[in-house]
């Protein structure tokens, strides 16, 4: 199939991927833009997985103050080189993550950051709620496991749905940027301040 420059340009604008990657995706997916975006996303996730073990010693601290100055966020986002840290894509990602933290108020970066004490307490509460249904224990366990996944998607930043594109998570957003920039990117820490909240 002959892939036109116009089609490549359209896919580039939608995906942010490079020219050659867009050509390959379009050729593989018979020129279908939606399938090509999915193809690139899958490749991006593969690319991100290969880079996940690489050290992230550079990066930037980003901030966001919400309109009205009642909510403020600081995010420490890391990458491998100072060159990438200064790119518009990296800084754009940093700003988007800070805005997302302001909007959705996560408590942890990832599942692994949730303490066993918090997990045990949450499971205990969910089990007490599930037991009211009168269903057998093996069913109750599945109900609790399902609700725990919901807990992670509400409180863990990487598992939250990205506020601009709810069909992807923050982890997907980071992987998409890793695919574009070719470096490992990690959120090291964040803090969210809100006027009036208990310290």
pLDDT tens-digit map of 13-27? 776 666 777 888 888
Supply the pTM of this predicted model.
Answer: 0.70
DSSP codes, 50-99: HHTTS---EEEEEEEE-TTSSEEEEEEEEES-HHHHTSHHHHHHHHHHHH
Tell me how crowded residue 103 is: count the other CB atoms within 10 A of its CB.
16
All structural domains of the chain with their residue ranges: 5-51, 58-110+156-194, 115-154
29 three-class SS: coil
Give the pLDDT score at 127: 87
pLDDT, greater one: 12 or 196:
196
Q: Which CATH superfamily is domain 5-51 in?
A: Ubiquitin-associated (UBA) domain (1.10.8.10)
**What is the tens place of the pLDDT at every residue in 117-132?**
999 999 899 888 888 8
169 three-class SS: strand
49 three-class SS: helix
Give the pLDDT score at 63: 96
- Tokens 């930043």 sit at which residue? 157
CATH node for 58-110+156-194: 3.30.479.20
Same fold yes or no, 5-51 and 58-110+156-194: no
Tokens of 158: 């990487």
């Amino acid at each position: 199939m002959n892939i036109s420059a116009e089609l490549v340009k359209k896919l580039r604008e939608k995906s942010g991927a490079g020219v050659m990657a867009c050509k390959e995706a379009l050729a593989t997916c018979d020129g279908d833009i939606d399938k090509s975006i999915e193809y690139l996303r899958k490749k991006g996730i593969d690319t991100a997985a290969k880079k996940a073990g690489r050290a992230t010693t550079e990066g930037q601290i980003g901030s966001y103050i919400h309109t009205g100055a009642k909510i403020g966020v600081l995010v420490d986002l890391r990458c491998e080189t100072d060159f990438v840290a200064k790119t518009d894509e990296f800084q754009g990602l940093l700003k988007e993550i800070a805005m997302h933290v302001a909007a959705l108020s996560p408590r942890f970066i990832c599942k692994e950051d949730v303490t066993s004490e918090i997990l045990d307490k949450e499971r205990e509460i969910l089990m007490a709620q599930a037991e009211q249904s009168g269903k057998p224990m093996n069913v109750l366990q599945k109900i609790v496991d399902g609700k725990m996944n919901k807990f992670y998607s509400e409180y863990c930043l990487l598992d939250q749905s990205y506020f601009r594109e709810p069909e992807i998570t923050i982890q997907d957003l980071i992987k998409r940027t890793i695919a574009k920039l070719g470096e490992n990117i990690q959120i090291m820490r964040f803090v969210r301040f809100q006027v009036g909240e208990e310290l």
